[in-house]
Structure 1
Protein backbone atom coordinates (compact mmCIF):
# COMPACT_ATOMS: atom_id res chain seq x y z
CA UNK A 1 0.00 0.00 0.00
CA UNK A 2 2.79 2.42 0.94
CA UNK A 3 4.64 1.64 -2.29
CA UNK A 4 1.49 2.41 -4.30
CA UNK A 5 1.06 5.76 -2.55
CA UNK A 6 4.74 6.61 -3.17
CA UNK A 7 4.34 5.68 -6.82
CA UNK A 8 1.32 7.97 -7.20
CA UNK A 9 3.12 10.82 -5.43
CA UNK A 10 6.13 10.30 -7.69
CA UNK A 11 3.95 10.35 -10.80
CA UNK A 12 2.20 13.52 -9.59
CA UNK A 13 5.64 15.10 -9.12
CA UNK A 14 6.56 14.15 -12.69
CA UNK A 15 3.33 15.70 -13.95
CA UNK A 16 4.22 18.89 -12.06
CA UNK A 17 7.68 18.74 -13.66
CA UNK A 18 6.09 18.56 -17.10
CA UNK A 19 3.86 21.53 -16.23
CA UNK A 20 6.89 23.57 -15.18
CA UNK A 21 8.72 22.61 -18.37
CA UNK A 22 5.65 23.52 -20.40
CA UNK A 23 5.67 26.99 -18.86
CA UNK A 24 9.36 27.16 -19.76
CA UNK A 25 8.42 27.47 -23.45
CA UNK A 26 7.00 30.91 -22.72
CA UNK A 27 10.01 31.93 -20.61
CA UNK A 28 12.39 30.66 -23.30
CA UNK A 29 10.60 32.70 -25.96
CA UNK A 30 11.06 35.83 -23.82
CA UNK A 31 14.70 35.00 -22.99
CA UNK A 32 15.61 34.65 -26.66
CA UNK A 33 14.81 38.33 -27.11
CA UNK A 34 17.77 39.18 -24.90
CA UNK A 35 20.25 36.25 -24.96
CA UNK A 36 21.75 33.72 -27.33
CA UNK A 37 20.67 30.08 -26.81
CA UNK A 38 24.10 29.23 -25.40
CA UNK A 39 23.89 32.05 -22.85
CA UNK A 40 20.48 30.77 -21.74
CA UNK A 41 21.85 27.23 -21.25
CA UNK A 42 24.79 28.47 -19.21
CA UNK A 43 22.60 30.82 -17.15
CA UNK A 44 19.93 28.27 -16.27
CA UNK A 45 22.41 25.53 -15.29
CA UNK A 46 24.57 27.96 -13.31
CA UNK A 47 21.55 29.26 -11.40
CA UNK A 48 20.49 25.67 -10.74
CA UNK A 49 23.92 24.66 -9.42
CA UNK A 50 24.31 27.73 -7.21
CA UNK A 51 20.78 27.51 -5.82
CA UNK A 52 21.04 23.81 -4.98
CA UNK A 53 24.49 24.27 -3.42
CA UNK A 54 23.19 27.15 -1.30
CA UNK A 55 20.02 25.45 -0.09
CA UNK A 56 21.54 22.01 0.52
CA UNK A 57 25.11 23.01 1.48
CA UNK A 58 25.05 20.76 4.56
CA UNK A 59 24.51 17.71 2.38
CA UNK A 60 27.59 18.41 0.29
CA UNK A 61 29.97 17.22 3.03
CA UNK A 62 28.39 13.76 2.74
CA UNK A 63 28.82 13.49 -1.02
CA UNK A 64 30.34 10.22 -2.23
CA UNK A 65 32.62 9.50 -5.15
CA UNK A 66 29.90 7.33 -6.70
CA UNK A 67 27.52 10.31 -6.62
CA UNK A 68 30.11 12.50 -8.36
CA UNK A 69 30.63 9.93 -11.11
CA UNK A 70 26.94 9.24 -11.66
CA UNK A 71 26.00 12.92 -11.49
CA UNK A 72 28.68 13.66 -14.09
CA UNK A 73 27.16 11.07 -16.43
CA UNK A 74 23.71 12.65 -16.03
CA UNK A 75 25.14 16.14 -16.51
CA UNK A 76 26.85 15.06 -19.73
CA UNK A 77 23.66 13.59 -21.20
CA UNK A 78 21.56 16.53 -20.01
CA UNK A 79 23.87 19.14 -21.53
CA UNK A 80 24.32 17.12 -24.72
CA UNK A 81 20.55 16.85 -25.13
CA UNK A 82 20.01 20.59 -24.71
CA UNK A 83 22.94 21.48 -26.97
CA UNK A 84 21.76 19.18 -29.78
CA UNK A 85 18.20 20.45 -29.40
CA UNK A 86 19.40 24.08 -29.57
CA UNK A 87 21.66 23.57 -32.59
CA UNK A 88 19.08 21.36 -34.29
CA UNK A 89 16.45 24.07 -33.96
CA UNK A 90 18.58 26.33 -36.17
CA UNK A 91 18.24 23.87 -39.07
CA UNK A 92 14.68 22.60 -38.75
CA UNK A 93 11.23 23.85 -37.81
CA UNK A 94 10.18 24.31 -34.15
CA UNK A 95 7.33 21.81 -34.64
CA UNK A 96 9.64 19.05 -35.92
CA UNK A 97 12.15 19.91 -33.19
CA UNK A 98 9.48 19.43 -30.51
CA UNK A 99 8.18 16.21 -32.07
CA UNK A 100 11.58 14.57 -32.62
CA UNK A 101 12.66 15.46 -29.06
CA UNK A 102 9.57 13.64 -27.77
CA UNK A 103 10.68 10.47 -29.56
CA UNK A 104 12.78 9.81 -26.41
CA UNK A 105 9.57 8.28 -25.00
CA UNK A 106 9.96 5.34 -27.38
CA UNK A 107 13.75 5.10 -27.06
CA UNK A 108 13.76 4.64 -23.25
CA UNK A 109 12.28 1.09 -23.14
CA UNK A 110 14.66 -0.01 -25.91
CA UNK A 111 17.64 1.21 -23.87
CA UNK A 112 16.37 -0.83 -20.93
CA UNK A 113 16.05 -3.91 -23.12
CA UNK A 114 19.42 -3.60 -24.90
CA UNK A 115 21.54 -2.72 -21.84
CA UNK A 116 19.78 -4.70 -19.10
CA UNK A 117 17.56 -7.16 -20.97
CA UNK A 118 14.47 -5.80 -19.24
CA UNK A 119 11.36 -7.23 -20.85
CA UNK A 120 9.08 -4.89 -22.76
CA UNK A 121 5.93 -3.93 -20.90
CA UNK A 122 3.30 -3.95 -23.65
CA UNK A 123 1.14 -1.38 -21.87
CA UNK A 124 4.00 1.05 -21.37
CA UNK A 125 5.27 0.59 -24.94
CA UNK A 126 1.76 1.17 -26.31
CA UNK A 127 1.44 4.19 -24.02
CA UNK A 128 4.77 5.50 -25.34
CA UNK A 129 3.54 5.19 -28.92
CA UNK A 130 0.32 7.02 -28.02
CA UNK A 131 2.35 9.78 -26.34
CA UNK A 132 4.54 10.31 -29.41
CA UNK A 133 1.44 10.32 -31.62
CA UNK A 134 -0.13 12.93 -29.34
CA UNK A 135 2.95 15.16 -29.52
CA UNK A 136 3.00 14.72 -33.31
CA UNK A 137 -0.63 15.82 -33.58
CA UNK A 138 0.05 18.89 -31.40
CA UNK A 139 3.31 20.04 -32.92
CA UNK A 140 4.11 18.40 -36.26
CA UNK A 141 3.39 20.33 -39.42
CA UNK A 142 2.96 18.72 -42.82
CA UNK A 143 6.66 18.86 -43.63
CA UNK A 144 8.36 15.54 -44.20
CA UNK A 145 11.72 16.53 -45.67
CA UNK A 146 14.74 15.31 -43.69
CA UNK A 147 17.20 18.06 -42.75
CA UNK A 148 20.40 18.27 -40.73
CA UNK A 149 18.42 19.72 -37.84
CA UNK A 150 16.13 16.68 -37.82
CA UNK A 151 19.09 14.33 -37.37
CA UNK A 152 20.57 16.48 -34.60
CA UNK A 153 17.21 16.67 -32.81
CA UNK A 154 16.74 12.92 -33.06
CA UNK A 155 20.19 12.50 -31.48
CA UNK A 156 19.02 14.95 -28.80
CA UNK A 157 16.11 12.58 -28.09
CA UNK A 158 18.61 9.75 -27.60
CA UNK A 159 20.52 11.86 -25.05
CA UNK A 160 17.31 12.73 -23.18
CA UNK A 161 16.36 9.05 -23.17
CA UNK A 162 19.71 8.10 -21.63
CA UNK A 163 19.33 10.89 -19.05
CA UNK A 164 15.93 9.52 -18.00
CA UNK A 165 17.13 5.92 -18.03
CA UNK A 166 20.27 6.51 -15.98
CA UNK A 167 18.40 8.74 -13.53
CA UNK A 168 16.11 5.80 -12.73
CA UNK A 169 19.13 3.51 -12.42
CA UNK A 170 21.24 5.80 -10.24
CA UNK A 171 18.62 7.29 -7.93
CA UNK A 172 17.94 3.88 -6.37
CA UNK A 173 21.24 4.09 -4.45
CA UNK A 174 22.14 7.79 -4.49
CA UNK A 175 20.81 10.90 -2.77
CA UNK A 176 18.56 12.59 -5.38
CA UNK A 177 19.49 16.09 -4.18
CA UNK A 178 23.25 15.51 -4.49
CA UNK A 179 22.75 13.69 -7.77
CA UNK A 180 20.84 16.69 -9.15
CA UNK A 181 23.44 19.13 -7.80
CA UNK A 182 26.36 17.37 -9.50
CA UNK A 183 24.31 17.07 -12.69
CA UNK A 184 23.69 20.83 -12.71
CA UNK A 185 27.34 21.65 -11.98
CA UNK A 186 28.63 19.47 -14.81
CA UNK A 187 26.03 20.83 -17.25
CA UNK A 188 26.95 24.42 -16.26
CA UNK A 189 30.67 23.75 -16.83
CA UNK A 190 30.03 22.17 -20.22
CA UNK A 191 27.65 24.94 -21.28
CA UNK A 192 30.32 27.57 -20.55
CA UNK A 193 32.52 26.21 -23.37
CA UNK A 194 30.52 27.64 -26.36
CA UNK A 195 30.57 31.10 -24.76
CA UNK A 196 34.32 31.34 -25.44
CA UNK A 197 33.54 31.19 -29.16
CA UNK A 198 31.01 34.04 -29.05
CA UNK A 199 32.09 37.51 -30.06
CA UNK A 200 30.45 38.98 -26.97
CA UNK A 201 28.40 37.84 -23.97
CA UNK A 202 25.12 39.64 -23.38
CA UNK A 203 24.47 40.68 -19.79
CA UNK A 204 20.86 41.20 -18.58
CA UNK A 205 19.92 44.85 -18.82
CA UNK A 206 16.25 44.94 -17.88
CA UNK A 207 13.68 43.27 -15.68
CA UNK A 208 12.15 41.15 -18.46
CA UNK A 209 15.53 39.59 -19.30
CA UNK A 210 16.32 38.88 -15.65
CA UNK A 211 12.88 37.49 -14.86
CA UNK A 212 12.81 35.10 -17.82
CA UNK A 213 16.33 33.78 -17.16
CA UNK A 214 15.77 33.36 -13.43
CA UNK A 215 12.45 31.65 -14.09
CA UNK A 216 14.21 29.12 -16.31
CA UNK A 217 17.00 28.68 -13.77
CA UNK A 218 14.88 28.43 -10.62
CA UNK A 219 11.79 26.61 -11.84
CA UNK A 220 12.47 24.92 -15.22
CA UNK A 221 15.91 23.73 -14.10
CA UNK A 222 16.39 23.60 -10.31
CA UNK A 223 12.87 22.70 -9.18
CA UNK A 224 11.95 20.59 -12.21
CA UNK A 225 15.06 18.39 -12.27
CA UNK A 226 15.04 17.98 -8.51
CA UNK A 227 11.43 16.82 -8.77
CA UNK A 228 12.24 14.51 -11.68
CA UNK A 229 15.23 12.90 -9.96
CA UNK A 230 13.38 12.37 -6.68
CA UNK A 231 10.19 11.11 -8.36
CA UNK A 232 12.04 8.52 -10.44
CA UNK A 233 12.76 6.60 -7.26
CA UNK A 234 9.15 5.45 -7.30
CA UNK A 235 8.29 4.69 -10.93
CA UNK A 236 9.71 3.12 -14.06
CA UNK A 237 11.82 4.96 -16.61
CA UNK A 238 9.31 4.32 -19.42
CA UNK A 239 6.38 5.63 -17.40
CA UNK A 240 8.55 8.63 -16.48
CA UNK A 241 9.13 9.41 -20.16
CA UNK A 242 5.42 9.08 -20.93
CA UNK A 243 4.37 11.45 -18.13
CA UNK A 244 7.08 13.96 -19.05
CA UNK A 245 5.76 14.01 -22.63
CA UNK A 246 2.82 16.06 -21.30
CA UNK A 247 5.30 18.95 -21.44
CA UNK A 248 4.15 19.45 -25.05
CA UNK A 249 0.50 19.65 -23.97
CA UNK A 250 1.20 22.08 -21.13
CA UNK A 251 3.41 24.20 -23.39
CA UNK A 252 0.57 24.40 -25.90
CA UNK A 253 -2.06 25.16 -23.25
CA UNK A 254 0.01 27.90 -21.61
CA UNK A 255 0.85 29.42 -25.00
CA UNK A 256 -2.88 29.66 -25.65
CA UNK A 257 -3.52 31.23 -22.23
CA UNK A 258 -0.51 33.55 -21.98
CA UNK A 259 0.60 34.25 -25.55
CA UNK A 260 -2.97 34.22 -26.94
CA UNK A 261 -2.25 31.55 -29.54
CA UNK A 262 -5.44 30.16 -31.16
CA UNK A 263 -6.76 26.88 -29.77
CA UNK A 264 -7.27 24.30 -32.53
CA UNK A 265 -8.98 20.93 -32.78
CA UNK A 266 -5.57 19.38 -33.47
CA UNK A 267 -4.28 20.64 -30.12
CA UNK A 268 -7.27 19.16 -28.28
CA UNK A 269 -6.90 15.79 -30.04
CA UNK A 270 -3.16 15.70 -29.27
CA UNK A 271 -3.83 16.41 -25.59
CA UNK A 272 -6.39 13.60 -25.44
CA UNK A 273 -3.89 11.14 -26.96
CA UNK A 274 -1.15 12.12 -24.48
CA UNK A 275 -3.41 11.66 -21.48
CA UNK A 276 -4.69 8.39 -22.94
CA UNK A 277 -1.05 7.31 -23.01
CA UNK A 278 -0.69 8.06 -19.30
CA UNK A 279 -3.87 6.17 -18.46
CA UNK A 280 -2.71 3.20 -20.52
CA UNK A 281 0.62 2.95 -18.71
CA UNK A 282 -0.89 3.80 -15.32
CA UNK A 283 -3.77 1.31 -15.31
CA UNK A 284 -1.91 -1.55 -17.04
CA UNK A 285 -2.48 -4.74 -15.10
CA UNK A 286 -4.48 -3.07 -12.33
CA UNK A 287 -7.69 -4.40 -13.82
CA UNK A 288 -6.05 -7.77 -14.40
CA UNK A 289 -4.97 -8.02 -10.77
CA UNK A 290 -8.45 -7.12 -9.61
CA UNK A 291 -9.92 -9.75 -11.90
CA UNK A 292 -7.68 -12.46 -10.49
CA UNK A 293 -8.50 -11.43 -6.95
CA UNK A 294 -12.22 -10.82 -7.37
CA UNK A 295 -13.23 -12.70 -10.55
CA UNK A 296 -16.78 -13.43 -9.50
CA UNK A 297 -17.68 -9.93 -8.39
CA UNK A 298 -16.29 -8.45 -11.57
CA UNK A 299 -18.22 -10.83 -13.74
CA UNK A 300 -21.44 -9.97 -11.90
CA UNK A 301 -20.85 -6.27 -12.42
CA UNK A 302 -20.07 -6.75 -16.09
CA UNK A 303 -23.18 -6.26 -18.26
Structure 2
Protein backbone atom coordinates (compact mmCIF):
# COMPACT_ATOMS: atom_id res chain seq x y z
CA UNK A 1 0.00 0.00 0.00
CA UNK A 2 1.28 3.48 -0.87
CA UNK A 3 2.45 5.56 2.08
CA UNK A 4 -0.07 8.28 1.22
CA UNK A 5 -3.02 5.89 1.47
CA UNK A 6 -1.69 4.35 4.68
CA UNK A 7 -1.28 7.86 6.10
CA UNK A 8 -4.85 8.73 5.15
CA UNK A 9 -6.13 5.57 6.88
CA UNK A 10 -4.19 6.42 10.06
CA UNK A 11 -5.55 9.98 10.00
CA UNK A 12 -9.04 8.56 9.56
CA UNK A 13 -8.42 6.54 12.72
CA UNK A 14 -7.35 9.75 14.48
CA UNK A 15 -10.58 11.40 13.36
CA UNK A 16 -12.56 8.44 14.66
CA UNK A 17 -10.97 8.87 18.10
CA UNK A 18 -12.07 12.51 18.17
CA UNK A 19 -15.59 11.85 16.94
CA UNK A 20 -16.09 8.79 19.15
CA UNK A 21 -15.18 10.73 22.31
CA UNK A 22 -17.60 13.58 21.59
CA UNK A 23 -20.35 12.06 23.76
CA UNK A 24 -17.91 11.58 26.65
CA UNK A 25 -16.63 15.15 26.45
CA UNK A 26 -20.12 16.61 26.13
CA UNK A 27 -21.16 14.88 29.36
CA UNK A 28 -17.90 15.65 31.18
CA UNK A 29 -18.01 19.42 30.63
CA UNK A 30 -21.41 19.52 32.31
CA UNK A 31 -19.47 18.83 35.52
CA UNK A 32 -16.00 20.28 34.85
CA UNK A 33 -15.79 23.66 33.02
CA UNK A 34 -14.50 23.39 29.43
CA UNK A 35 -11.19 25.25 29.70
CA UNK A 36 -10.37 23.44 32.94
CA UNK A 37 -11.24 20.11 31.35
CA UNK A 38 -9.08 20.87 28.30
CA UNK A 39 -6.18 22.07 30.46
CA UNK A 40 -6.19 18.84 32.47
CA UNK A 41 -6.67 16.74 29.32
CA UNK A 42 -3.77 18.26 27.39
CA UNK A 43 -1.34 18.67 30.31
CA UNK A 44 -1.96 15.09 31.46
CA UNK A 45 -1.47 13.89 27.88
CA UNK A 46 1.79 15.85 27.69
CA UNK A 47 2.97 14.24 30.92
CA UNK A 48 2.13 10.74 29.65
CA UNK A 49 3.89 11.41 26.35
CA UNK A 50 6.97 12.82 28.10
CA UNK A 51 7.19 9.77 30.38
CA UNK A 52 6.87 7.45 27.39
CA UNK A 53 9.63 9.31 25.56
CA UNK A 54 11.85 9.37 28.67
CA UNK A 55 11.64 5.62 29.27
CA UNK A 56 11.23 4.21 25.75
CA UNK A 57 12.41 6.86 23.24
CA UNK A 58 14.87 9.00 25.16
CA UNK A 59 16.82 9.87 22.03
CA UNK A 60 13.84 11.91 20.77
CA UNK A 61 14.24 14.31 23.70
CA UNK A 62 17.57 15.43 22.25
CA UNK A 63 15.68 16.95 19.33
CA UNK A 64 14.09 19.67 21.49
CA UNK A 65 15.96 22.63 20.00
CA UNK A 66 14.85 26.23 19.64
CA UNK A 67 13.19 25.72 16.24
CA UNK A 68 10.92 22.91 17.40
CA UNK A 69 9.99 24.87 20.54
CA UNK A 70 8.83 27.73 18.30
CA UNK A 71 6.86 25.28 16.14
CA UNK A 72 5.29 23.74 19.25
CA UNK A 73 4.19 27.13 20.56
CA UNK A 74 2.64 28.10 17.22
CA UNK A 75 0.82 24.78 16.75
CA UNK A 76 -0.30 24.74 20.38
CA UNK A 77 -1.67 28.27 20.10
CA UNK A 78 -3.78 27.62 17.00
CA UNK A 79 -5.06 24.37 18.48
CA UNK A 80 -6.04 26.23 21.64
CA UNK A 81 -7.58 29.07 19.62
CA UNK A 82 -9.83 26.59 17.82
CA UNK A 83 -11.12 25.18 21.09
CA UNK A 84 -11.46 28.64 22.67
CA UNK A 85 -13.44 30.23 19.82
CA UNK A 86 -15.68 27.18 19.64
CA UNK A 87 -16.28 27.18 23.40
CA UNK A 88 -17.34 30.83 23.47
CA UNK A 89 -19.22 30.59 20.19
CA UNK A 90 -21.40 27.74 21.50
CA UNK A 91 -22.78 30.13 24.12
CA UNK A 92 -24.43 32.18 21.36
CA UNK A 93 -25.26 29.70 18.61
CA UNK A 94 -26.62 26.19 18.24
CA UNK A 95 -24.41 23.11 18.31
CA UNK A 96 -25.69 22.10 14.87
CA UNK A 97 -24.63 25.39 13.28
CA UNK A 98 -21.32 25.27 15.16
CA UNK A 99 -20.68 21.78 13.80
CA UNK A 100 -21.23 22.94 10.25
CA UNK A 101 -19.20 26.14 10.52
CA UNK A 102 -16.31 24.29 12.19
CA UNK A 103 -16.34 21.83 9.32
CA UNK A 104 -15.73 24.68 6.88
CA UNK A 105 -12.04 24.33 7.72
CA UNK A 106 -12.07 21.71 4.94
CA UNK A 107 -12.61 24.59 2.49
CA UNK A 108 -10.03 26.93 4.03
CA UNK A 109 -7.11 24.50 4.13
CA UNK A 110 -6.47 24.18 0.34
CA UNK A 111 -6.25 27.95 0.00
CA UNK A 112 -4.08 28.33 3.11
CA UNK A 113 -1.83 25.57 1.75
CA UNK A 114 -1.55 27.45 -1.55
CA UNK A 115 -0.64 30.67 0.27
CA UNK A 116 1.62 29.30 3.04
CA UNK A 117 3.10 26.10 1.58
CA UNK A 118 2.94 26.59 -2.17
CA UNK A 119 0.63 23.60 -2.74
CA UNK A 120 -1.37 23.65 -5.95
CA UNK A 121 -5.18 23.59 -5.97
CA UNK A 122 -6.21 20.24 -7.46
CA UNK A 123 -9.67 19.63 -8.90
CA UNK A 124 -10.40 16.41 -7.04
CA UNK A 125 -9.50 17.89 -3.66
CA UNK A 126 -11.60 21.02 -4.26
CA UNK A 127 -14.61 19.08 -5.56
CA UNK A 128 -14.29 16.65 -2.66
CA UNK A 129 -14.23 19.58 -0.23
CA UNK A 130 -17.33 21.02 -1.91
CA UNK A 131 -19.21 17.72 -1.68
CA UNK A 132 -18.21 17.36 1.98
CA UNK A 133 -19.36 20.93 2.72
CA UNK A 134 -22.82 20.17 1.30
CA UNK A 135 -22.86 17.03 3.44
CA UNK A 136 -21.89 19.03 6.52
CA UNK A 137 -24.77 21.41 5.86
CA UNK A 138 -27.24 18.53 5.55
CA UNK A 139 -25.89 16.88 8.71
CA UNK A 140 -25.64 19.97 10.89
CA UNK A 141 -27.88 22.84 9.79
CA UNK A 142 -31.49 23.26 10.78
CA UNK A 143 -34.06 25.76 9.57
CA UNK A 144 -32.37 28.42 11.72
CA UNK A 145 -30.06 30.18 9.29
CA UNK A 146 -29.62 33.61 10.88
CA UNK A 147 -26.10 34.82 11.68
CA UNK A 148 -25.01 36.01 15.14
CA UNK A 149 -21.84 36.70 17.13
CA UNK A 150 -21.59 33.01 18.03
CA UNK A 151 -21.42 32.09 14.36
CA UNK A 152 -18.57 34.57 13.87
CA UNK A 153 -16.65 33.10 16.81
CA UNK A 154 -17.09 29.56 15.47
CA UNK A 155 -15.99 30.81 12.04
CA UNK A 156 -12.75 31.96 13.71
CA UNK A 157 -12.57 28.48 15.27
CA UNK A 158 -12.72 26.90 11.81
CA UNK A 159 -10.00 29.24 10.58
CA UNK A 160 -7.84 28.37 13.61
CA UNK A 161 -8.21 24.64 12.99
CA UNK A 162 -7.41 25.18 9.31
CA UNK A 163 -4.24 27.07 10.24
CA UNK A 164 -3.27 24.29 12.64
CA UNK A 165 -3.69 21.60 9.95
CA UNK A 166 -1.78 23.68 7.40
CA UNK A 167 1.07 24.43 9.80
CA UNK A 168 1.36 20.77 10.78
CA UNK A 169 1.94 20.24 7.06
CA UNK A 170 4.82 22.72 7.34
CA UNK A 171 6.46 21.46 10.54
CA UNK A 172 5.80 17.69 10.46
CA UNK A 173 8.34 16.95 7.68
CA UNK A 174 10.99 18.95 9.53
CA UNK A 175 10.84 17.45 13.02
CA UNK A 176 10.37 14.12 14.74
CA UNK A 177 6.75 13.27 15.53
CA UNK A 178 7.15 12.65 19.28
CA UNK A 179 8.79 15.94 20.36
CA UNK A 180 6.62 18.01 18.01
CA UNK A 181 3.46 16.39 19.40
CA UNK A 182 4.70 16.78 22.98
CA UNK A 183 5.31 20.51 22.63
CA UNK A 184 2.07 21.40 20.85
CA UNK A 185 0.05 19.34 23.36
CA UNK A 186 1.90 20.93 26.29
CA UNK A 187 1.43 24.50 25.07
CA UNK A 188 -2.21 23.89 24.18
CA UNK A 189 -2.65 22.76 27.79
CA UNK A 190 -0.85 25.83 29.11
CA UNK A 191 -2.99 28.20 27.02
CA UNK A 192 -6.16 26.40 28.18
CA UNK A 193 -4.95 26.67 31.78
CA UNK A 194 -4.64 30.42 31.24
CA UNK A 195 -8.21 30.51 29.92
CA UNK A 196 -9.39 28.51 32.93
CA UNK A 197 -7.68 30.88 35.37
CA UNK A 198 -9.30 33.90 33.72
CA UNK A 199 -12.82 32.60 33.03
CA UNK A 200 -13.41 29.62 35.34
CA UNK A 201 -12.96 28.29 38.87
CA UNK A 202 -10.05 25.88 38.49
CA UNK A 203 -10.37 24.73 42.10
CA UNK A 204 -13.00 22.23 40.91
CA UNK A 205 -10.10 20.06 39.72
CA UNK A 206 -9.33 19.26 43.36
CA UNK A 207 -12.94 18.42 44.25
CA UNK A 208 -13.19 14.60 44.47
CA UNK A 209 -16.83 14.61 43.38
CA UNK A 210 -15.78 16.37 40.15
CA UNK A 211 -12.46 14.76 39.25
CA UNK A 212 -13.70 11.26 40.09
CA UNK A 213 -17.11 11.70 38.55
CA UNK A 214 -17.45 8.63 36.24
CA UNK A 215 -18.02 10.72 33.10
CA UNK A 216 -15.23 13.20 33.88
CA UNK A 217 -12.67 10.57 34.89
CA UNK A 218 -13.45 8.36 31.88
CA UNK A 219 -13.38 11.30 29.47
CA UNK A 220 -10.06 12.60 30.83
CA UNK A 221 -8.41 9.18 30.73
CA UNK A 222 -9.64 8.17 27.26
CA UNK A 223 -9.20 11.61 25.69
CA UNK A 224 -5.74 12.17 27.19
CA UNK A 225 -4.36 8.82 26.05
CA UNK A 226 -6.08 8.04 22.75
CA UNK A 227 -7.62 11.30 21.45
CA UNK A 228 -4.66 13.50 22.42
CA UNK A 229 -1.28 11.79 23.02
CA UNK A 230 -1.69 8.97 20.49
CA UNK A 231 -3.76 11.05 18.03
CA UNK A 232 -1.36 13.99 17.74
CA UNK A 233 1.72 11.80 17.50
CA UNK A 234 -0.03 9.96 14.66
CA UNK A 235 -1.00 13.23 12.94
CA UNK A 236 2.55 14.59 13.16
CA UNK A 237 4.02 11.32 11.94
CA UNK A 238 1.68 10.59 9.04
CA UNK A 239 0.51 13.98 7.76
CA UNK A 240 3.96 14.38 6.22
CA UNK A 241 2.96 11.64 3.73
CA UNK A 242 -0.23 13.36 2.61
CA UNK A 243 -1.35 16.95 2.07
CA UNK A 244 -3.06 19.40 4.44
CA UNK A 245 -6.04 19.59 2.03
CA UNK A 246 -6.59 15.83 2.16
CA UNK A 247 -6.05 15.85 5.93
CA UNK A 248 -8.77 18.50 6.35
CA UNK A 249 -11.13 16.46 4.23
CA UNK A 250 -10.47 13.39 6.36
CA UNK A 251 -11.01 15.43 9.53
CA UNK A 252 -14.37 16.55 8.11
CA UNK A 253 -15.62 13.03 8.90
CA UNK A 254 -15.43 13.77 12.65
CA UNK A 255 -19.14 14.74 12.90
CA UNK A 256 -20.01 11.51 11.07
CA UNK A 257 -18.23 9.46 13.72
CA UNK A 258 -19.73 11.67 16.44
CA UNK A 259 -23.23 11.08 15.03
CA UNK A 260 -22.63 7.33 14.78
CA UNK A 261 -21.33 7.20 18.35
CA UNK A 262 -24.29 9.24 19.57
CA UNK A 263 -26.62 6.79 17.84
CA UNK A 264 -25.12 3.70 19.49
CA UNK A 265 -24.16 5.12 22.89
CA UNK A 266 -26.61 7.91 23.62
CA UNK A 267 -29.64 6.86 21.60
CA UNK A 268 -29.49 9.87 19.28
CA UNK A 269 -31.45 9.53 16.06
CA UNK A 270 -30.66 11.00 12.66
CA UNK A 271 -33.11 12.14 10.03
CA UNK A 272 -32.89 10.93 6.45
CA UNK A 273 -31.39 14.31 5.52
CA UNK A 274 -28.69 13.95 8.17
CA UNK A 275 -27.87 10.40 7.08
CA UNK A 276 -27.59 11.68 3.51
CA UNK A 277 -25.23 14.37 4.77
CA UNK A 278 -23.01 11.74 6.42
CA UNK A 279 -22.87 9.81 3.16
CA UNK A 280 -21.94 12.94 1.21
CA UNK A 281 -19.10 13.73 3.63
CA UNK A 282 -17.73 10.22 3.19
CA UNK A 283 -18.31 10.47 -0.55
CA UNK A 284 -16.39 13.74 -0.74
CA UNK A 285 -13.45 12.15 1.06
CA UNK A 286 -13.47 9.14 -1.26
CA UNK A 287 -13.76 11.40 -4.32
CA UNK A 288 -10.61 13.24 -3.28
CA UNK A 289 -8.85 9.93 -2.54
CA UNK A 290 -9.58 8.63 -6.03
CA UNK A 291 -7.74 11.63 -7.41
CA UNK A 292 -4.47 10.25 -6.08
CA UNK A 293 -1.72 11.99 -4.16
CA UNK A 294 -1.20 14.69 -6.72
CA UNK A 295 -1.32 17.91 -4.72
CA UNK A 296 2.42 18.23 -4.19
CA UNK A 297 4.00 21.57 -3.32
CA UNK A 298 5.75 23.73 -5.81
CA UNK A 299 9.40 23.68 -4.62
CA UNK A 300 9.86 27.34 -5.56
CA UNK A 301 6.99 28.35 -3.26
CA UNK A 302 7.98 26.31 -0.21
CA UNK A 303 8.71 28.42 2.90
CA UNK A 304 12.29 28.41 4.18
TM over 0.5: yes
The equivalent of 2:38 in structure 1 is: 41
Question: Retained in 1: the 8 A contact 2:69–2:183?
Answer: yes
CA distances 1:101-155 after superposition (whole Å, capped 9, x unpaired): 1100000011122234432111101111111211111111111111111000000
User: Offset of 1:285 from its aligned partner?
Assistant: 5.5
- Work out the CA distance in 2 between the residues paired with 1:227 and 1:265: 34
| Aligned with 1:15 (options 12, 16, 41) | 12
The equivalent of 2:239 in structure 1 is: 232
- Work out the CA distance in 2 between the residues paired with 1:62 and 1:158: 30
Q: How many residues align?
A: 283
| Aligned with 2:288 (options 261, 281, 287) | 281
Does 2:209 match 1:202? Answer: no
Label 1:82 to 1:200 Cα distance change in 2 as closer, same or farther (>3 A): closer
The equivalent of 1:182 in structure 2 is: 183
Does 2:7 match 1:6? Answer: no
User: Offset of 1:85 from its aligned partner?
Assistant: 0.8
User: Offset of 1:200 from its aligned partner?
Assistant: 5.0
User: Offset of 1:24 from its aligned partner?
Assistant: 1.7
The equivalent of 1:257 in structure 2 is: 264
Does 2:103 match 1:102? Answer: yes
The equivalent of 1:245 in structure 2 is: 252
- Unpaired runs of 5+ residues, structure 1, are 287-303
Question: Retained in 2: the 8 A contact 1:34–1:202?
Answer: no
Does 2:218 match 1:211? Answer: yes
User: Offset of 1:284 from its aligned partner?
Assistant: 1.2
CA distances 1:204-227 after superposition (whole Å, capped 9, x unpaired): 133332112222222221122222
The equivalent of 2:297 in structure 1 is: none
- Work out the CA distance in 2 between the residues paired with 1:185 and 1:285: 35
- Work out the CA distance in 2 between the residues paired with 1:274 and 1:200: 38
The equivalent of 1:144 in structure 2 is: 145
The equivalent of 1:300 in structure 2 is: none
Question: Retained in 1: the 8 A contact 2:79–2:188?
Answer: yes
The equivalent of 1:93 in structure 2 is: 94
- Work out the CA distance in 2 between the residues paired with 1:129 and 1:35: 37
- Unpaired runs of 5+ residues, structure 2, are 206-210, 294-304
CA distances 1:55-87 after superposition (whole Å, capped 9, x unpaired): 112121332221111111100110111111111
The equivalent of 2:275 in structure 1 is: 268
- Work out the CA distance in 2 between the residues paired with 1:199 and 1:15: 36
RMSD of Structure 2 on Structure 1 (CA):
1.5
- Give 3-state SS (helix, strand or coil) of 2:2's partner: helix
Label 1:96 to 1:263 Cα distance change in 2 as closer, same or farther (>3 A): closer
Point out the more displaced range, 251-260 or 113-122: 113-122
Larger radius of gyration: 1
Normalized against structure 2, the TM-score is what?
0.89
